[in-house]
Amino acid sequence: MLRCATSFRCYMRVICLTMAPDGAMTNALRKLDYTPYTLRSAFSQGRANRHPTEWASALRGERDIDLCKLMADFDAAVGPPAAMLYAKLLRECPDYTKVILVKETDKQQWAREHERCVISLLKGHRHPPQNRIAKAFYTILSEMAPRPIEQPLGAISGNGDDDTRISGRVDALERYEAEVCREVPSSRLLVYHHGDGWEPLCSFLGREVPGEPFPPYDSGMHVIRNLHERVERTEKIAYVAVLLLGGTALYAFFPVLLDMKEYFEKLYRDYQIAYGQ
């Protein structure tokens, strides 16, 4: 059984395991007065300087990050990157923390969208990222979904043709869902499907059913594309800043260079006179 193993007072009440980085479940939990942490949260409101690198280290198993402390301002976590570390997160959470497993009803469609968006962005990044936020972003992208068996840690995608890769991703997601059902106590787990509506969710969480339609399905791929554009723009700005800084330093040093040039020219003239040249 997964138990709390930290002295830090964790206020995480809900962990929503969905492959959508910021979709319908995020909006639904907000309607129910939760404050969910999502992939977008890691890159907003001043958290980009620390959170992405912390998640990247945790996902790669490089450091033991206290995830509850990292998300201390939130009482819910939705989708990746938290969904990929749900077992560790649950060990840090109190016993009242509940888990919602959102099963993808069309896993083939999800796998195709993942390949078209996430894998394409990873493969399309021609040069190694230069700043730590960009490096962390691409690490999170590469680890934000269950990996096929043949895909090692940090690899972009499995081998084979499109159908083989899609099949591998579907199998990986099915194994992930089965593992969650096996590892999380049934008293703390709700298995949810898109289309189930408010009733099972509100009953599980002890909340009143809102008088409005449940948020529509959203794969969250647009969030990934938006973050990718922001990260790319940040990299370009950083590159230009380095060039400007270098140019400014060179400009400031230019008078010294002129003085040195005149000094060596004078030495050379003295040399010519001394040796009769």
pLDDT tens digit string along 133-179? Answer: 889 999 999 998 898 866 554 455 545 567 888 999 999 999 999 99
pLDDT band at 251 (very low <50, low <70, confident <90, very high): low
Q: What percent of the chain clears pLDDT 90, i.e. is strictly above it?
A: 56
Single-letter amino acid, residue 264: F
Smallest CA-to-CA distance from 34 within 118, 112, 97 is with 97
- In the predicted structure, residue 40 carries a pLDDT above the cut 80: yes
CA distance 41 to 44: 5
Q: Give the per-residue pLDDT at 33.
A: 97
Whole-number percent of the chain with pLDDT over 70: 74
Lowest mean pLDDT among 159-163, 183-187, 196-200: 159-163
pLDDT in tens, 75-93: 999 999 999 999 999 999 9
Asked if pLDDT for residue 49 goes beyond 60, the answer is yes
Task: Give the integer Cα–Cα distance in Å for 34 and 37.
Answer: 10
Query: Can you tell me the distance from the alpha carbon of 84 to that of 19, in angstroms, rounded to the nearest whole number?
Result: 9
Phi, then psi, of 100 in degrees rounded to 5: -115, 115
Q: What is the CATH number of domain 14-243?
A: 3.40.50.300
Q: Two tokens at 128?
A: 């190694």
65-89: burial string, b at 16+ Cβ within 10 Å, e else: bebbebbeebbbbbbbbbbbbbebb
The strand pairing partners of 98, in sequence order, are 14
